[in-house]
Structure 1
Amino acid sequence: MKSQASTLLAEVRTFRQNHPDVRYVDLIALDIPGHFYGKRYPIEMLEKVAAGSPLKLPQNAVLLGVQGGLFKIGDYCFHDGDPDANRRLVPGTLKPVSWESQPLGQMLITSDGTEAPIEFEPREVLAKVLERLHHKGIHPVVAFELEFYLFDKKLDNGLPQFARDPLSNDTDDQPNLHIERLSRFSEVLDDMAQTAKDQGIDITVITAELGPGQFEINFGHLDDGLRAADWAALFCRSTRGVALKHGYRASFMAKPYLQFPGSGMHLHVSLYDGAGNNVLAAHQQQPLRHAVAGCLELLPHCMPIFSPNHNAFRRLGGTVNAATRASWGFEDRDACVRIPDSDPRNLRIEHRLASADANPYLVLAAILVGLEHGLEAKREPIAPLNEDRSSGTDFPVEMLDAVRAMQHQPVLRDKLGAEFIDVYCENKRQDHLAFQQEINAREYRWFL
C-alpha cells in the first residue's frame, strides 16, 4: 500500500509540474449503463488522496439508470441509507483534458482493490473474472474496436442531422472504406486519435465505415484486460468531447438510422498460458473449438450486456454483418464469433455482437466467462457458417425476454456473481419499463 501511495503521489506531482494551469481534476468511473459519474476535485485535494486520504462516493451511483435516476433494486437505493463506498485512484490514468474550454485533468477511480469492493461495479466484475483466470494460469490479450457516427452538432427537433462534408459542406455520402472520407474529415479524426493517445490509448487503424459519417477506430492488443476496457471507456468520453469542439456530435448509439448499419463494439481475445503459449492453438486448435462452444452457449443469456438498451436490439439482423443468431465462422463477418485468419501464435476470436454503447468492462467479462466455460466443459460447437449458412442458435431480441434468460443462468451467476446478475437485470428491466412510459407521435397517428 505504501508503495502504491508513493507511485500515485509521484504521478500527481509530475502532472502538476507538467500542467501548472490545471486547477481541477475529474475523478470518474463507469456506472452500469456505461456512463461516467464522479466528482471534480481541486488538484491540491487530489494530492492528499494520492497520499492516502479516503476517497468516498455514494455506493448507489453505480446503479444509476440511463437517465441518471435511481430504481428500487432489492435493498439498495431506498432502504440502505445511500451509504458511501471507498474508491481508489487507478494508477497511470491521470491525464489532461484538452477538449474543455478551461484546463482540466481527469483520472479513473474504482472500488476494485479496496477493502470492500462494490460487487456490481462493472470494473470490479471484470477484475474478479481476470483474477480467477490468472489463478488458472490463463492470461487474456485483448483489443477493442469501436464504431461511431458523426452528426451535425445541432439537432433538428431532437433528431440527428448528417455530418457535413468539410470540403463540400454537403451530406457525407462517400462509399464504404473510401479513403477520401478520411481525408475530408481528417481534422476532427486526427484530433480524436491524438487526444486518445494523450490519454495513453494505443490507437491503430482508422476506417471509414458504410454509414454516412460513420467511422471505426481500433486499439492495440493489450495483455491487461482492465486497462483495455479503460481505454474503450475513456475513448468514448474523449471522442465526444473532441467532436463538439469541431462542430460535430459523436455518438456510439447502436442504431441511429434504421436504413444504415449500426455501430458495434468488436473484441479480439486470445488466451495464453504462463509460458506465453497460445492456449487456443494447442492440440490442433481443439481448445479453440471448446472456447467457441462456450461463448455460443452463454451468448443468448448475455444479451442484456451485449445489447444494453431498446435501441441496441434494433441493430441486430439489420443491414450488413449484424448477426440474428448465435453463430461462428472462419473469416466470416456475418458470425457473432469470427475466427480471423492468423498464425498459431496470434490465434484468437473476434466477438462481434456487442453494440458500441455497451459497457466495455461487462462485455469483456461476459466474453471471458464464455471462453472459460467452454474450456472447462469441452463441448464441440455447432457447425461454422462456412459449412452451413443456416447454422446458429436463437437469442432473445427484446429486453424483457433477454433479462429473463440472463437472471437465472447458473454459469453466469457463478462466474459473474449472483449479486451482480440480480442488480444488473433489475436495472435493465426498470430502465426498459421507464423507456416505455412515453406516447410518441407515431402512436397517436396509428391509434388516436
Structure 2
Amino acid sequence: MKSHSSTLLAEVRTFRQNHPGVRYVDLIALDIPGHFYGKRYPVEMLEKVAAGSPLKLPQNAVLLGAQGGLFKIGDYCFNDGDPDANRRLVPGTLKPVSWESQPLGQMLITSDGTEAPIEFEPREVLAKVLERLHHKGIHPVVAFELEFYLFDKKLDNGLPQFARDPLSEDADDQPNLHIERLTRFGDVLDDMAQTAKDQGIDITVITAEIGPGQFEINFGHLDDGLRAADWAALFCRSTRGVALKHGYRASFMAKPYLQYPGSGMHVHVSLYDGAGNNLLAAHQQQPLRHAVAGCLELLPHCMPIFSPNHNAFRRLGGTVNAATRASWGFEDRDACVRIPESDPRNLRIEHRLASADANPYLVLAAILVGLEHGLEAKREPIPPLNEDRNSGTDFPVDMLDAVRAMRHQPVLRDKLGGEFVDVYCENKRQDHLAFQQEIHAREYRWFL
C-alpha cells in the first residue's frame, strides 16, 4: 500500500510541475446511466488524497437516473441515510483538461479495490468479471469503436440542427462516407484526436460515417479491460468538450435521426491464455463457436445494458447494419456478433449491438460474461447469417420487457452479481417510467 501511495503521490507532483497553472482537478467516476459525477478538488488537497487521506463520496451518486434524479431502489436513497463510500484514485489517469476556459485537470476515481467496493458501481462490476477470468487463466484483449454525431451548437426549438460545413457554411445534410468530410471537419476532428491522446487514449482510425455529420473513432487494442473501458468513457467526455469549443455539439445519442443510421459502440474482444495463445482459435476454432453461442444465449437478457434508454431501442432494426435479432456471422455487419477476418493469432469477436451511449464498463462486462458462459456450457451456436439469412433469436425491443428478461436470469445474477442486477433493472425501469411522464404534441394531435 505504501508503494502504491508513493506512485500516486509522484504522479500528482509531476502533474503539478508540468501544469503549474492548474489549481483544481475534477475527480470523476461513471454512474449507472453513463454520466460522470464527482467533485472538484484543489490540487494541493489531491496530494493529500494521493498520500493516503480518505476520499469519500455519497454511495448513492452511482444510482442517479438519466436526469440526475433519485429513485427508491430497495433501501437505497431514502432508507439508508445516504451514506458515503470510499473511493480511490485510479493511477495513470491524472491528465490536463484542455477544452475548458480555465486550466483544469481530471482524474478517475473508483470504489473497486477499496475495502468495501460498491457492488453496483459499473467499474466495480467489470473489475470483478475480469478478476474471475484472470483466475481461470483467461486474459481478454479489448478494443472499442465509438460512433457519434456532430450538430450545430444551437438547437432549433429543442431539436438538433445539422453541423455547419466550415468551408461552405452550409448544413452538412448529405449522408455519405466521403473522405472529404474528414477534411471539411478536420480542425475539430484533429483536436478531438489530439485531446484524447493527451488523456492517454490510443486513437487509431477515424471514419466519416453514413449519417450527416456522423463519425467513428477507433481505439487501440488493450490487454487491460478496465483501461479500455476507461478510454471509452473519457473519450466521450473530452469529445463533447472539444466540440463545444469549436462551435458544435457532439452527441453519442443512439438514434438522433429516424431516417439516418444510429450510433453504436462496437467492441472487439479476443481471449488468450497465460502463454499468449488465442483461446478462441484452438481445436479448429471450436471454442469460438462455443463463445458465440454463450453471447447469443445471454444477449436477450442483457438488452437493458446494450440499449440503456428509450431512444436506444429506436436504433434496433434501423437503416444500416443494426440487428433486429440475436445473430452472428463471418464478416457480416448485419450480425450482432461479427467475426472479422483475421489470422488465428488475432481471431476475435466484434460485438456490434450496444448503442454509443451505453455504459462501456457494463457493456464489456456483459460481453465477457457471455463469452465465459459459452466456453463453460460448450454448446453449438445457431447457424451464422452466412448460411441462413433468417437465422437469429428474438430479443426484447422495449425497456420494460428487457428489464423483465434481465432481472431473473440466473447466469447474469451469478456472474454480474445479484445486487447489481436488481439495482440496475430497477434504475432502468424507473427511468423509463419517468421518461413517459410527459405529454408530447403528437399525443394531443392524435387523441385530443
Q: TM-score, normalization: structure 2? A: 1.00
2:9 is aligned with 1:9 = yes
Please give the root-mean-square deviation of Cα atoms over the aligned residues, in Å: 0.5
Contact 2:162–2:173, Cα closer than 8 Å, also in 1: no
CA shift, 1:168, in A, is 0.7
SS in 1 for 2:280: helix
CA distance in 2, matches of 1:364, 1:400: 22
2:433 is aligned with 1:413 = no
CA distance in 2, matches of 1:56, 1:211: 43
CA shift, 1:175, in A, is 4.6
CA distance in 1, matches of 2:396, 2:152: 34
Aligned length in residues: 448
CA distance in 2, matches of 1:90, 1:318: 38
Q: Any gaps of 5 or more consecutive residues in structure 2?
A: none
CA distance in 1, matches of 2:225, 2:187: 31
CA shift, 1:171, in A, is 1.5
CA distance in 1, matches of 2:256, 2:384: 31
**Cα pair distance change 1:311/1:281, threshold 3 Å:** same
CA shift, 1:173, in A, is 3.8
SS in 2 for 1:29: strand
Deviations 1:171-197 (A, max 9, x none): 214553211000000000000000000
CA shift, 1:289, in A, is 0.0
Deviations 1:385-409 (A, max 9, x none): 0000000000000000000000000
SS in 1 for 2:148: strand
CA shift, 1:117, in A, is 0.1
CA distance in 1, matches of 2:363, 2:38: 22
Percent sequence identity over matched residues? Answer: 95
CA shift, 1:355, in A, is 0.1
Tell me the equivalent position of 2:45.
Answer: 45
CA shift, 1:89, in A, is 0.1
SS in 2 for 1:417: helix
CA distance in 1, matches of 2:155, 2:102: 25
Tell me the equivalent position of 1:26.
Answer: 26
Tell me the equivalent position of 1:93.
Answer: 93
Contact 1:122–1:362, Cα closer than 8 Å, also in 2: yes
Contact 1:281–1:344, Cα closer than 8 Å, also in 2: yes
Deviations 1:11-59 (A, max 9, x none): 0000000000000000000000000000000000000000000000000
Q: Any gaps of 5 or more consecutive residues in structure 1?
A: none
CA distance in 2, matches of 1:127, 1:433: 30
CA shift, 1:317, in A, is 0.1
Deviations 1:397-438 (A, max 9, x none): 000000000000000000000000000000000000000000
SS in 2 for 1:206: strand
CA distance in 2, matches of 1:397, 1:185: 35
**Cα pair distance change 1:439/1:174, threshold 3 Å:** closer
CA shift, 1:167, in A, is 0.7
SS in 2 for 1:416: helix
CA distance in 2, matches of 1:50, 1:137: 32
SS in 2 for 1:268: strand
Tell me the equivalent position of 2:316.
Answer: 316
Contact 1:336–1:352, Cα closer than 8 Å, also in 2: yes
Tell me the equivalent position of 1:121.
Answer: 121
Tell me the equivalent position of 1:158.
Answer: 158
CA distance in 2, matches of 1:185, 1:23: 33
Contact 1:29–1:37, Cα closer than 8 Å, also in 2: yes
Contact 2:203–2:217, Cα closer than 8 Å, also in 1: yes
CA distance in 2, matches of 1:427, 1:105: 31
Deviations 1:170-227 (A, max 9, x none): 1214553211000000000000000000000000000000000000000000000000
Q: Map of 1:176-325 to 2, 5 A cutoff?
A: 176-325=176-325
CA distance in 2, matches of 1:176, 1:363: 28
Contact 1:174–1:181, Cα closer than 8 Å, also in 2: no
CA shift, 1:115, in A, is 0.2
Contact 2:30–2:37, Cα closer than 8 Å, also in 1: yes
Deviations 1:57-104 (A, max 9, x none): 000000000000100000100000000000000000000000000000
Contact 1:339–1:348, Cα closer than 8 Å, also in 2: yes
CA shift, 1:286, in A, is 0.1
